[in-house]
Amino acid sequence: MSTITLWRPVGPKELALIESSGMTAFPPRLPEQPIFYPVTTRAYAIKIARDWNVPESGAGFVTQFEVDATYLARYAVETAGGREHQEYWIPAEDMDAFNAAIVGLIQIVDSFTAP
């Protein structure tokens, strides 16, 4: 099986929910979160975790995970701003299938806290 590596910047609350899954799944989206945005580069995830999650919640984390490439092929890579800001837009109703397409465990690869 071929996989694609993705990253997801998260705050402490989302990380706690990921940990409660045994590091195997991302939580369902909240009503005000119709889209799940995994990103295509670690650098982009670091920028979001450090520059957005830390001021918002005091800490930011970058998760890394593998997704079945065949499953992911149904979604286009979207550019949000500059070309270094690429991400997938996964509809909230697709989260169960997306989580089922994760291969292996979700890993924490970077963490940031407020000074």
Q: Cα-flanking dihedrals φ and ψ of residue 87, to 5°? A: -155, 165
Both structure tokens of 55:
């001021």
Cβ proximity of 37 and 78 under 8 Å: no
- pTM > 0.75: yes or no: yes
Give me the tens of pLDDT residue by residue for the chain, a chain 115 residues long.
899 999 999 999 999 999 999 999 999 999 999 999 999 999 999 999 999 999 999 999 999 999 999 999 999 999 987 778 999 999 999 999 999 999 999 999 999 998 8
